[in-house]
Amino acid sequence: MPSIDRQAPPPAASQPDILAALGWRPFFADQVEAGSNDGAQPVRVVEAHRGALHVLGEGVDRIIPGRADVVVGDWLLLDPVEAAEPATSRLLERKSLIKRRAPGLERQVQMIAANIDTAFIVSSCNQDFNVARLERYIALAFEAGVTPVVLLTKADLCDDPAAYVEAAQAIAHLAPVLVLNARLADAQSTLATWCAPGQTVAFLGSSGVGKSTLANTLAGNEAIETQAIREGDAKGRHTTTRRQLHLPAGGYAILDTPGMRELQLTGAEAGVAEVFADLHALAGQCRFNDCQHRTEPGCAVRAGVGHGSIENARLERWMKLVAEDKHNTANLTPGKANTAATRKADRRMRKKSRS
Ligand SMILES: Nc1nc2c(ncn2[C@@H]2O[C@H](COP(=O)(O)OP(=O)(O)OP(=O)(O)O)[C@@H](O)[C@H]2O)c(=O)[nH]1
Ligand SMILES: [Mg+2]
Ligand SMILES: [Zn+2]
């Protein structure tokens, strides 16, 4: 079994109301009553590897065999009768699931985390900031059923943080945008609305933006390793290498994640439509159902650009995300032929999605 460091999440099993802190709630409890799982114990997966799961529950702090259908954040019912083979435990229905196209050449969907309530989309007030990337993350969160909140870190290192806030607000009108210094304890009160008892929050974003720093600030300690970014280009050093749920005092859960190099959407049509709701609505008025919004007559979207009501760069970002999501959704379907043409299209998509 690959090693999972049991000490990594703080000694949560000693907390009196561990299940509540882990996010146990009627949505999950109702699934237990409905089934015949007498004596089964709910546990939450706080870390998942291919070969092993670290689960916590009331009086439970165990490493059990891994399974491909389980991701960090999942709830399992550990059946005591099957204690020797807990891999057969029942996986409870998820409240939310964050997923993307797996990075690299594998043509697969990768689950990132389950049962997250709030996704803190973290970016810094420096070269890391990128509106197209923010839109991607927000679409991902909407699709997953998770509330997105944009956090702009390193305000203290920036002469004009207001310019970043304004740029983020312009595209992320559906998500609150907060600017902060991740290293200051003030961040606790700034984020208190979302870090309420029983909630699970996740930090997502590129390497070096301060996800682990924020997790430490919220917990009031330095338990998670952090590392200075490179001076020249402000890029992070990929310090965090695994997704882990942490339980700070305060009765909620924090998921810290490794910085993502690449975030390609898949199965996210509704999420993209929500981020670009105005363009999506206009597209419904185009003369042709399959309008590509390029040169077709009767294109309501192009007309909007012509009137100056739609920014061309934003239109391009939307079309790119729609095309990428369509491509991945079609090509990650099991059984789809792995042809030279799809591989070539894949490479094009991957190149475009790096930002
Ligand atoms: N001055 C200042 N430094 C910050 C802030 N946020 C993060 N840092 C610093 O930025 C560096 C990177 O922070 P990390 O928390 O390791 O970044 P991360 O997002 O967890 O990075 P990965 O684990 O690589 O994905 C550390 O040196 C932090 O102290 C901030 O708001 N202000
Ligand atoms: Mg980190
Ligand atoms: Zn059109």
pLDDT at 308 over 80: yes
> Does residue 99 or residue 51 have the better pLDDT?
99
Which residues, at least 6 apart from 135, have a Cβ–Cβ distance to it below 8 Å? 171, 172, 275, 276, 317, 321
Last residue of a domain, one of 34, 60, 91: 91
pLDDT at 81 over 70: no
pLDDT-derived band at 266, boundaries 50, 70, 90:
very high
Domain shared by 199 and 144, yes or no: yes
- Per-residue pLDDT, averaged over 111-115, amounts to 96
Rounded to whole angstroms, how far apart are CA atoms 54 and 48? 6
> Does residue 201 or residue 349 have the better pLDDT?
201
Q: Whose CA is closest to atom 26 on ligand 1?
A: 228
Q: Distance of CA 329 to CAs 237, 266, 319, Å?
A: 31, 5, 15
Closest atom of ligand 1 relative to the 258 alpha carbon: 25
Flag whether 238 is in a domain: yes
pLDDT at 27 over 60: yes
Residues with CB under 6 A from ligand 1: 153-154, 156-157, 181-183, 207-213, 226-229, 236-240, 258-259
pLDDT of residue 234: 82
Question: Which of 186, 198, 178, 245 shows the shortest CA–CA distance to 28?
Answer: 198
Instruction: Enter the tokens of residue 69.
Output: 């259908």
Question: Which of 130, 126, 203 shows the shortest CA–CA distance to 168?
Answer: 130
Flag whether 286 is in a domain: yes
Closest atom of ligand 1 relative to the 236 alpha carbon: 24
pTM over 0.85: yes
CA contacts within 13 A on the Cβ side of 85: 3
Domain shared by 238 and 325, yes or no: no
Q: Whose CA is closest to atom 13 on ligand 1?
A: 210
- Judged by average pLDDT, the poorest of 74-78, 191-195, 252-256, 339-343 is 339-343
Domain shared by 229 and 305, yes or no: no
Domain shared by 62 and 104, yes or no: no
Q: Whose CA is closest to atom 14 on ligand 1?
A: 210
Question: Model confidence over 146-156: pLDDT tens digits?
Answer: 999 999 999 99
- Judged by average pLDDT, the poorest of 7-21, 86-100, 239-253 is 7-21
Task: With beta carbons less than 8 A apart as the criterion, state whether 264 and 26 touch.
Answer: no
pLDDT of residue 146: 97
Ligand 3 centre to CA of 71 (Å) is 39
pLDDT of residue 13: 43
pLDDT of residue 250: 92
Flag whether 5 is in a domain: no
Mark the residues whose beta carbon lies below 5 A from ion ligand 2: 211-212, 239-240
Last residue of a domain, one of 91, 121, 136: 91
Domain shared by 279 and 247, yes or no: no
- In CATH, what number is assigned to the domain containing residue 121? 3.40.50.300
Question: Model confidence over 218-249: pLDDT tens digits?
Answer: 999 999 999 999 888 889 999 999 999 999 99
Domain shared by 127 and 241, yes or no: yes
Flag whether 262 is in a domain: no
- In CATH, what number is assigned to the domain containing residue 304? 1.10.40.50
Domain shared by 206 and 340, yes or no: no
Of the chain, the percentage scoring pLDDT greater than 90 comes to 70
pLDDT at 300 over 50: yes
Tell me the pLDDT of the chain averaged across its residues: 88
Flag whether 220 is in a domain: yes
Rounded to whole angstroms, how far apart are CA atoms 220 and 254? 13
Of the chain, the percentage scoring pLDDT greater than 70 comes to 85
- The residue range of the domain holding 120 is 99-256
Task: With beta carbons less than 8 A apart as the criterion, state whether 138 and 148 touch.
Answer: yes
Q: How many domains does the chain have?
A: 3
Question: Which of 23, 79, 19, 87 shows the shortest CA–CA distance to 255?
Answer: 23
Flag whether 6 is in a domain: no
Mutate which of 112, 226, 238, 260 for ligand 1? The one with the most ligand atoms within 8 Å of its CB, which is: 226
Ligand 1 centre to CA of 209 (Å) is 5
Highest mean pLDDT among 48-52, 58-62, 85-89, 117-121: 117-121
Flag whether 264 is in a domain: no
Closest atom of ligand 1 relative to the 122 alpha carbon: 19
pLDDT of residue 104: 79
pLDDT at 317 over 60: yes
3 state SS for the chain? CCCCCCCCCCCHHHCCCHHHHHCCCHHHHHHHHHCCCCCCEEEEEEEECCCEEEEEECCEEEEEECCCCCCCCCEEEECHHHCCCHHHCEECCCCCEEEEECCCCCCCEEEEEECCCEEEEEEECCCCCCHHHHHHHHHHHHHHCCEEEEEEECHHHCCCHHHHHHHHHHHCCCCCEEECCCCCCHHHHHCCCCCCCCCEEEEEECCCCCHHHHHHHHHCCCCCCCCCCCCCCCCCCCCCCCCEEECCCCCCEEEECCCCCCCECCCCHHHHHHHCHHHHHHHCCCCCCCCCCCCCCCCHHHHHHHHCCCCHHHHHHHHHHHHHHHHHHHHCCCCCCCCHHHHHHHHHHHHHHCC
Give strand pairing partners of 43: 57, 76
Domain shared by 175 and 194, yes or no: yes
Domain shared by 104 and 251, yes or no: yes
Domain shared by 218 and 138, yes or no: yes
φ, ψ of residue 76 to 5 degrees: the values are -125, 155
Question: Which of 49, 10, 105 shows the shortest CA–CA distance to 242?
Answer: 49
pLDDT-derived band at 7, boundaries 50, 70, 90:
very low
Domain shared by 60 and 144, yes or no: no
pLDDT at 12 over 60: no
pLDDT-derived band at 166, boundaries 50, 70, 90:
very high
Last residue of a domain, one of 225, 256, 287: 256
Mark the residues whose beta carbon lies below 5 A from ion ligand 3: 286, 291, 293, 299, 301
Ligand 1 centre to CA of 323 (Å) is 33
pLDDT of residue 342: 65
Flag whether 4 is in a domain: no
Domain shared by 151 and 16, yes or no: no
pLDDT of residue 9: 47
Ligand 3 centre to CA of 338 (Å) is 31
Question: Model confidence over 182-209: pLDDT tens digits?
Answer: 999 999 999 999 999 999 999 999 999 9
pLDDT-derived band at 103, boundaries 50, 70, 90:
confident
pLDDT-derived band at 106, boundaries 50, 70, 90:
confident
- In CATH, what number is assigned to the domain containing residue 54? 2.30.30
pLDDT-derived band at 172, boundaries 50, 70, 90:
low
